[in-house]
Homo-oligomer: A and B are copies of this chain.
């Protein structure tokens, strides 16, 4: 990016980026909107399609911003708890419809569990719902390509599906603030022309985003490395007695068994040793830790410190022998 380019207002709707993203995803440019991080897309979806007072549907637990945005819009949040395996309960659509939710957030892969909902189930959900379905794919780049998962074709068959992508996770560009949405033209257009700030993404962001997508083969090597490490970390955690659901994201949600102490205590002890994991002090997440998959060195470090902390916390110092 040159000083000359910085001087001028950026392409207002990021044409270059839209065309590139559209060609990658096999859609038209008019089906893509570029946003100042994925968070802006979430805000635009609510403010464009939900009148104040109309309900917003949320599967819980999930990204806390969904409920913040509902509150800001003076919209009641209809909260449906996920099933124990983090899947969407069969009656969720009915509950959302009965509460007249105008928009439903679905995180896929789910955070913080990492669970992937197959496209066929998303399609069924979109078909049942009388709401706009925002499929938040912030972590989708880490899905195993062997699964052939691709939710984008949904937007051709469902006028009520908006897919969120971001460069913050899979492209390691969280500092840049660049996300985008994919949907039917009828969904993209009002956000683009009505509610969006006229120049919502700067020229630096647009340029780097184009460069990032153009060199996605390089990013894909990182995703593959994350998947390899995810498998190894998951097995090692299981050996330590910490179960995790299968994850298609770049983190694992580990349940801390009773004998290993409280998850919160373990989280703090790890932090004292310079290892950062996330603990959510809410509902079914209280006994769990979200552990981000890092480099092999990160994994070794984490496992070593985890072993030490558990040994210190537990009078047993090891999982009970299988009976």
Contacts and interface: CB of A to CB of B under 8 A. Distances in A.
Interface in A1-54: 1, 3, 5-10, 36-37, 39-40, 43, 47, 52
A65 B72 CA distance: 22
Contact of A204 (B176, B197, B199): B176
B9 A174 contact: yes
Contacts of A203: 175-176
Contacts of A201: 177
A195 B39 contact: no
A10 B177 contact: yes
A299 interface: no
A174 B8 contact: yes
Given A36-B200, A197-B36, A198-B65, A6 B172 contact: yes
Given A202-B205, A205-B204, A8 B197 contact: no
A168 interface: yes
A197 B40 contact: yes
A194 B74 CA distance: 13
A173 B203 CA distance: 10
Given A9-B168, A36-B36, A168-B9, A177 B195 contact: no
A213 to B, nearest CB: 15
B72 A199 contact: no
Interface of A: 1, 3, 5-10, 36-37, 39-40, 43, 47, 52, 65, 72, 168, 172-178, 194-195, 197-205, 208
